[in-house]
Amino acid sequence: MRKKIAVLCSMLILLLSCQAVSAVELTGSLEAIGIVDNAEFNVNMGLKLNMNLVEGDEQQVSLQMELVPDTKGSLGDFFPVKPGAGYPKVNALLTTRGQFLNAGPVLTTRIGQMSVKYSDYVGVFSNLGAIEISGGRIGDLRISGLYAFDGDVKPLALRLAGDVDRIQVNGTYVRVDEDQLAFHFGASTQVNERVTVAAQFANDKVNGNAYNVNGRFKVVNGVYLKAGLWNFGDFDSPYINAELKKLYGGKTDGKELGLEVNLAGVTVNGAYMTFDQGGKNRQLMDLQAQRDLMGITAGIKAQYDIKAKSFITNELTLSKVFSIPGYFENVSVTGKYDFEEAELSLVQVEYTSPNRIKWTFTSTPENPKRLTAAYKIEF
C-alpha cells in the first residue's frame, strides 16, 4: 500500500515539475461526505481528491486520484489508518493528450481506474483498471480501444462510431476471452423531418442474439407516435448494462406502440407492449405523466398488467422548491406515494447552506432516517 502511494506521489511530482518548462494549470476539488443512518449515529466518511493538470495548448495531462476507505468507519479510522480499520484504497487515473508520432493524429490516452461505456449491450466497463486510447479516425469514423483488468479476465474492446451518409452508426467488439466474443452494431437516421428510425443488433458467442428496431413519427409539434419490435430472450453478456437486462431480459417477440406528448407544460408518455416470457404471453400498459402546477411538479408512473388485471407499478411523485426569506433559500422537497403498497415510498429534502454544505435528508420504508452532508471545495 505504501509503495502504491509513493508511486502516485512520484507521478504527481513529475507532472508538477512541468511548470519549469511550460505553463501548467492546476485545478481540482476536495470533497467530504458524512452519512448518519437512523438513530444509531453511525457516521461513514469518505474523502475524495481530484486534481487535473493541463500542459500547453496542444498536449493535456491530468491526474485524478480518489481516496476511499476499504471498510466503513469514522473519519478517525481514515486518517491516520488504525489497525484493523482497513487501509484506504487509492484510485488513480492518468490522462494524456498528444501525438505518438510527429506526423500522427492527436490521441487521448488514459491509464488507471475508470468507467467506460462503449455499448449498453456488450461494453459497459465499470470502475476497472484499464488502458484506453481514443481520438483516432478511420475515414468518417472515430475509433477507440480499451484493454481492462477485471480479476482473472482481461477484456479487450474496440469501438467505431460516426456519421456515414446521414446515418449515425456505431459498432463495438469485445473479446472477453478466447471462448467468448461479443459485438454490437447500432444505426439511426432521420428519414425526413417527421420520421426517425433506429436499429440495434447484438451477438454474444456464448449467450445468443438480441435486436431492437424502433421508429418515431412526428404528428404535430409536441406529439409523436412510437413503434418498435424487439427480441432479447436469453441474450446476455458479461459487460451488459444492468438496466437494459432488467428491462428486456428473458423476453421474446416483443412489440410496442406508444404516444409521446409535450404540450403546454404537460409531458405524457404512454405505451402498449406485448411479448412472450417464460412460455407465456404478456401484455402491459405503461403511463408516465408530468405537469408543473402552481410551483409544484406532479408526476405519475404506472404499469398495468392487462392479463393479470393488476398494477405492477403505480406511483405519484410531488416535488417543490421553496424559500423562507432570511432563513432558507431553494429548499427542494420531494415525496413519492406508492398506491400498491399504500405508503410513502420516499421523502427527500435537499438544501445547500450558505457555507456550501449540501444537506440531504431521505426517508424510505427500508431506511426511515438518513442524513447526508456533503462539502466540496473547488480550486
Neighbouring-strand partners of residue 63: 51, 94
pTM for the structure as a whole: 0.79
User: Does 313 fall in a domain?
Assistant: yes
Domain count of the fold of the chain: 1
Give the CATH number for residue 312.
2.20.50
- Cell readout for 145 is 480501444
Contact 241, 227 (CB under 8 A): no
User: Does 300 fall in a domain?
Assistant: yes
Count Cβ neighbours within 10 Å for each residue of 109-132 and write b for 16 or more, e otherwise: ebebbbebebbbbbbbbeebbbeb
| Tens of pLDDT, residues 80-95 | 444 444 445 667 888 8
What one-character DSSP code corresponds to residue 60? E
Q: Is the dihedral of CA 118, 50, 80, 374 positive or negative?
A: negative
- Residue 347 lies in domain: 294-379
Please give the helix or strand (H or E) that residue 271 lies within, else none.
Answer: strand 266-277
User: Does 126 fall in a domain?
Assistant: no
| Tens of pLDDT, residues 88-145 | 566 788 888 877 888 788 889 999 889 999 999 999 999 899 999 999 999 889 999 9
User: Does 315 fall in a domain?
Assistant: yes
User: Does 241 fall in a domain?
Assistant: no
List the one residue out of 187, 129, 138 whose CA is nearest residue 160. 138
Higher pLDDT, 355 or 216: 216
- Cell readout for 111 is 491509464
